[in-house]
Structure formats: C-alpha cells, structure tokens
C-alpha cells in the first residue's frame, strides 16, 4: 500500500520500521531491529557481515533508490503463485500403515532425480504414489506442480510421449505455445536435435501400428524444450507394461532427465526401471507387505465392524497370513 503512494522502497521500509519501533507492545517493537535493507550486494560480499549490518542501520537514504528499486541483481519469486499443474486424483481413503514407505520415498526424491517404487501387484504402490502426489501438492514442494500419469494398459513409449505432451500443451498459453513452436523450428534448423527417420505420426489411437514405429521425436523435443528449467515432479504409475518397448521407454526417461536437471521422476513397477542401463542413477524403494496388525486394521475398517472375540481375531490373523498382507487382496475379499 505504501508503494502506491509514491514511496520509494527505502522510504516505505523505514516508514514501516519506525511504526513498529513505536508500538506499545515492547516485544513487538523489538521486531523492528531484525530487518534491514541490503542495498549493495557487491559491497556485502566484500565486508564482514556484522560490520556491514551496522553500516546499513545507520543509512537512512540512498541516491539510487527509486520506486521499483535498484534490483539489477538477484531474482524475484512470486509467493503464493499457483503451479501450472495440479493433480486431480482421488486418494484411497483406506490407507493404512505406509508411513515408513512414504517417508523413504520422500527422502529418496529429495536426493535423487529418479526413484522407482518396486513391489508385487496389489501391494499398494499406486495408493502410495497418489498420497505422495497430494502430500507434495498440499505443501507446494514443486513450484510448477505435479503431473500424475497412470500408464496401466500402456505399452509403447509413444503413448507415454503423447499423454505427457497433451498435459503440458494444455498448460501453455497461446503465446507460450507459439514461442515453443518457433523455438523447436529453430532448434531443428540448427541441427541441435538428433533426428530419427520415421513416418509422420498423427493420432496414436487410430492406428495400432503407429505405436510401434520410431519415437515421436517432434513431441518429445517439444516436451523437453518446454519443461527445461521447470521445478516439476512426473509420476509414472504402473510402467511394467513397457517391457515390450523397454529400450525406447528407457531412452525417453534418460533424455528427460539428461535435458532437464531440475526434473524429478517417480515411477511404480514390478521391477527396477533401469536394470538394463548402468549409466544412470536410479534409487529403488521396495514396497513390502503390510504389517499384520495394519492389515487387520484395514480389513476391519473395510468390513465396517470390530472383532472383540479372540477366536474371530485368530481367524482374521489366519486370513491375513493367507493373503500375504496385500492390500488389494484384502479389499477384494
């Protein structure tokens, strides 16, 4: 509000600081001494921080301070900015006993760009992935958001490219899309991208044979050029179907990670993703069976009643053992 009244950045700061100093609450007035304006970054780098702090407190004006501020260096981040992508998924309400696994995946994603959750079918990988997506989204961990793709019943790399490009293209403004098209044309002209000889691809759903041709590099290049530098998490759920097109699928993953250093990818599968590639680091988190006590809790919640009789509890423990504590098996029962 002060800046709309023709105050400079410095004037607005000292005006507000003076008001806080004069506050009747002593504890609040002390807060005024915790803030200062650092006007010259180069000077700050060359002197002792404590000495510089005292110098700044004594300065009340600056010849280069104007309404928009002398911000030749540094960057401005818009706080509270909505991410480009928001996951719109329904998390499983029957979610029990996976806190340890979730914390492990979060830790691994913090330190690695590629993490794969590995486990038997029905063990609960998808539920964990969905809860992780919502966990990150609620906390706005990724500035540009999260893309969640369920790849169940998908088996070709071009299907992944098409689904991913569709999501990314939808988030772009008309100006951004035009700029992307111009940039990719320039890149092709300069020969910066490797080109594969392949027929022009249109709608992958119209012709099954199109899924089996060489990679759709046109869309892959646009994806990479768009998300390069974005702070984004891609979640690819149920990628085990890509065994029939494993080489191309792995090449897509590798190109995305190699070209986009800020990108994070989380996948779920029956087996580690890069078993056939040794030139990229993949962190795997194995998802085991539920603890028997958690499996019993899940069954009781689904059944909608509690077992007080010890014989009933013994029967339930036997059932849990037979299902190998797999959550989907318990749900289907």
In a shared domain, residues 179 and 217 = yes
Cα-Cα-Cα-Cα dihedral sign, residues 126, 128, 131, 133: negative
Confidence (pLDDT) at 151: 92
Angle (CA) 325 330 333, round 5°: 145
In a shared domain, residues 269 and 317 = no
In a shared domain, residues 139 and 158 = yes
Q: Per the domain annotation, does 242 fall within a domain?
A: yes
In a shared domain, residues 43 and 184 = no
Residue 115 phi, psi dihedral angles, 5° rounding:
-130, 135
Tokens found for residue 314: 């013994």
Confidence (pLDDT) at 212: 52
The domain containing residue 23 runs over which residues? 2-58
Confidence (pLDDT) at 17: 80
Measured between alpha carbons, how far is 218 from 195 in angstroms, rounded to an integer? 9
Tokens found for residue 265: 């990818």
Confidence (pLDDT) at 289: 73
Q: What percent of the chain has pLDDT over 90?
A: 26
Taking CA atoms, 317 is separated from 50, 297, 300, in Å, by 65, 11, 11
Specify the CATH number for the domain of residue 267.
3.40.50.300
In a shared domain, residues 277 and 323 = no
Confidence (pLDDT) at 23: 77
Write out the chain's pLDDT in tens, 333 residues: 544 556 667 777 777 888 888 877 777 777 777 776 665 544 444 444 444 444 544 554 454 554 444 444 555 555 556 889 999 887 665 566 677 889 999 999 999 999 999 998 888 899 899 999 999 998 889 999 999 999 988 889 999 999 999 999 888 888 888 888 887 777 667 655 444 444 444 444 444 554 555 778 888 999 999 999 999 999 999 998 887 788 899 899 999 999 999 999 999 999 887 655 556 678 999 988 766 666 666 666 666 555 556 666 666 666 666 665 454 444 434
Measured between alpha carbons, how far is 242 from 161 in angstroms, rounded to an integer? 13
In a shared domain, residues 324 and 178 = no
In a shared domain, residues 132 and 264 = yes
Tokens found for residue 71: 């911000």
Q: Per the domain annotation, does 233 fall within a domain?
A: yes
pLDDT digits (tens, 9 = 90+) for 68-77: 444 445 555 5
Domain boundary residue, one of 25, 42, 58: 58
In the sheet with 145-150, reading across from the earlier edge strand, the strands are 145-150, 232-237, 264-269, 114-118, 283-286
In a shared domain, residues 155 and 220 = yes
Identify which of 232, 235, 286 has the alpha carbon closest to the alpha carbon of residue 129.
235
What do you get for the CA distance between the two ends of the chain, in Å? Answer: 61
- Whole-prediction pTM: 0.62
Please give the tally of structural domains in the chain: 3
Q: Per the domain annotation, does 104 fall within a domain?
A: yes
Burial (0-12, 13-18, 19+ Cβ within 10 Å), 266: buried
Q: Per the domain annotation, does 89 fall within a domain?
A: no
Q: Per the domain annotation, does 68 fall within a domain?
A: no
- Residue spans of alpha helices (H) in 141-279: 157-171, 174-190, 217-227, 246-259
Angle (CA) 271 235 187, round 5°: 110
Identify which of 93, 94, 96 has the alpha carbon closest to the alpha carbon of residue 289.
96
In a shared domain, residues 36 and 152 = no
Measured between alpha carbons, how far is 300 from 316 in angstroms, rounded to an integer? 9
Q: Per the domain annotation, does 30 fall within a domain?
A: yes
- Residue spans of alpha helices (H) in 7-85: 9-21, 26-30, 41-46, 49-58
Residue with tokens 């009781």: 300
Answer whether 162's CB lies under 8 Å from 207's CB.
Answer: no
Q: Per the domain annotation, does 37 fall within a domain?
A: yes
Confidence (pLDDT) at 69: 43
What DSSP state is assigned to residue 255? H
In a shared domain, residues 143 and 214 = yes
Confidence (pLDDT) at 114: 94
- Residue spans of alpha helices (H) in 33-156: 41-46, 49-58, 99-111, 125-139
Q: Per the domain annotation, does 86 fall within a domain?
A: no
Identify which of 201, 203, 202, 222 has the alpha carbon closest to the alpha carbon of residue 213.
201
In a shared domain, residues 296 and 239 = no
Domain boundary residue, one of 286, 305, 324: 286
Answer whether 255's CB lies under 8 Å from 193's CB.
Answer: no
Confidence (pLDDT) at 278: 57
In a shared domain, residues 307 and 212 = no
């Amino acid at each position: 509000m002060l800046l709309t009244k023709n105050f400079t950045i410095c004037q607005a700061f000292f005006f507000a600081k003076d008001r806080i100093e004069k506050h009747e609450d002593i504890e609040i007035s002390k807060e005024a001494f915790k803030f200062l304006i650092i006007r010259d970054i180069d000077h700050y780098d060359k002197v002792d921080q404590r000495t510089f702090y005292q110098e700044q407190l004594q300065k009340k004006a600056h010849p280069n301070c104007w309404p928009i501020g002398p911000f030749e260096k540094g960057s401005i981040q818009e706080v509270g900015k909505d991410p480009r992508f928001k996951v719109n998924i329904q998390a499983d309400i029957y979610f029990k006993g996976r806190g340890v696994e979730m914390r492990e995946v979060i830790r691994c994603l913090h330190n690695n760009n590629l993490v794969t959750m590995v486990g038997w079918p029905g063990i609960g990988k998808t539920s964990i992935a969905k809860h992780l997506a919502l966990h990150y989204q609620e906390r706005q961990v990724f500035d540009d958001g999260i893309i969640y793709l369920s790849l169940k019943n998908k088996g070709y790399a071009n299907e992944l490219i098409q689904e991913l490009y569709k999501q990314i293209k939808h988030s772009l403004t008309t100006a951004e899309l035009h700029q992307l098209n111009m940039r990719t044309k320039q890149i092709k002209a300069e020969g910066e991208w490797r080109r594969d000889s392949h027929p022009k691809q249109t709608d992958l759903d119209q012709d099954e044979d199109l899924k089996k041709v060489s990679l759709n590099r046109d869309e892959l290049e646009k994806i990479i050029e768009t998300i390069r530098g974005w702070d984004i998490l891609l979640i690819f759920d149920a990628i085990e179907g890509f065994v029939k097109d494993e080489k191309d699928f792995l090449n897509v993953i590798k190109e995305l990670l190699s070209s986009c250093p800020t990108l994070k990818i989380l996948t779920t599968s029956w087996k580690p993703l890069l078993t056939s590639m040794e030139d990229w680091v993949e962190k795997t988190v194995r998802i085991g069976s539920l603890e028997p006590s958690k499996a019993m809790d899940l069954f009781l919640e689904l059944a909608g009643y509690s077992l007080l009789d010890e014989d009933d509890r013994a029967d339930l423990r036997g059932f849990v053992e037979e299902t190998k504590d797999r959550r989907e098996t318990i749900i289907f029962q």
